[in-house]
Amino acid sequence: MKARVTVMLKNGVLDPQGEAIRHALGSLGFSGVTGVRQGKVIELDLEATDPAAAEAEVGRMCETLLANTVIERWSVELI
Amino acid sequence: MKARVTVMLKNGVLDPQGEAIRHALGSLGFSGVTGVRQGKVIELDLEATDPAAAEAEVGRMCETLLANTVIERWSVELI
């Protein structure tokens, strides 16, 4: 079973990487971009076969290691 | 309109960040993880209102700036 974890900065947290991308896109002539946020995506191959148990386990991984929950929010999707 | 771009290393390209996460998860007792790949997710706020045009424009952004197409693959999803 595979799981995809998406980790994004929470709204209100400054995202300098996203801002840098927005500026770079503007310089390249892509003028219709009003905001950019960058985050991480982590794809996990899991031995677990029960979807509910897998999702709970991945949630614990996010809280423990994958995300800094003070400034980041995470979501899990089984694929 | 918002678009979400996902950029992952192509299969076969070594992913040391993913490997580091896999080792760290193992050390923390999460033993059922057989593989980890890490990538980037970029959320764009766009002025465009036509979905097809927006998707094509974001595709051009990926080819030009957001992904290194030699070693990375990208996908676009309108949200």
Q: Is B46 on the interface with A (CB under 8 A)?
A: yes
Interface test with A, best of B41, B58, B60 (most A CBs within 10 A): B41
pLDDT of residue B17: 96
- Give pTM, 2 decimals: 0.92
Q: Which tens digit of pLDDT belongs to each residue from A59-78? A: 999 999 999 999 999 999 99
pLDDT of residue B3: 97
Residue A27 burial by CB count (10 A; 0-12/13-18/19+): exposed, middle or buried? Answer: exposed
Q: State the complex-level ipTM.
A: 0.90
Q: Which tens digit of pLDDT belongs to each residue from B24-35? A: 999 999 999 999
A-contacting residues in B 53-72 (Cβ below 8 Å): 57, 60-61, 64-66
Residue range A3-19: mean pLDDT, rounded: 96
Walk me through the domains of chain A, giving residue ranges and CATH numbers.
2-78 (3.30.1280.10)
